[in-house]
Amino acid sequence: MNKPAKSFKYPINLLTIGLSALMIFPTSVKAISSIVSSPVNSEKPVILMAKVQQRIQFKKGTNSAEIKGGVARGTVNTYLIKAKKGQRMKIEIQSLEKNAVFNIVDPNTKTIVKESKSWSGELSQTGDYQIAIGTERGGASYSMSVSIK
């Protein structure tokens, strides 16, 4: 007579199998885990993911600036700019690769613009706004113009 199969406690077995696989195939597990998507918390301030952070200051007597830079795939360059409630901000970004985009985060860490190449609007509060530059794919060299009136 055949013996009945042992019953397994799933959480322990899955943990054991997962840890064993990680020890035996660390590169494969890492590659698979990078393919599997995880939930994104859109409330997380963009500044926490920044690779580069720089303050934008206009030259005396001007209300605009041109910023040139580069961003690697998977990273974000963040720029801070001080503005007042009621002012109009205009931002445009161009890249040779046509893949640079930006997000704008207000002083209360609320994202007001997501993955855009051009935006103009009236600002709702006074404080530091974050302009986070990333890419839609690959890396990018970019030129961004920012004006506040």
- Residue in the block written with tokens 């055949």: 2
The whole-number pLDDT of residue 149 equals 94
- Give yes or no for residue 103 having a pLDDT over 90: yes
pLDDT at 138 over 70: yes
* 4 within some domain: no
Q: What is the CATH number of the domain that holds 60?
A: 2.60.120.380
Q: In this structure, are strands 50-55 and 111-116 parallel, antiparallel, or unpaired?
A: unpaired
Q: How many residues does the chain have?
A: 149
Question: Mean pLDDT throughout 130-145?
Answer: 96
Q: Using the 8-state DSSP alphabet, how is residue 23 labeled?
A: H
Contact between 139 and 53 (Cβ < 8 Å): no
> At residue 35, does pLDDT exceed 50?
no
- Residue 2: the pLDDT is 60
Q: How far is 8 from 76, CA to CA, in rounded Å?
A: 45
Is residue 1 situated within a structural domain?
A: no
Tokens 């030129």 belong to residue = 143
Over 60: is that where the pLDDT of 41 sits?
no
Show the domain range for 33.
9-38
pLDDT at 53: 82
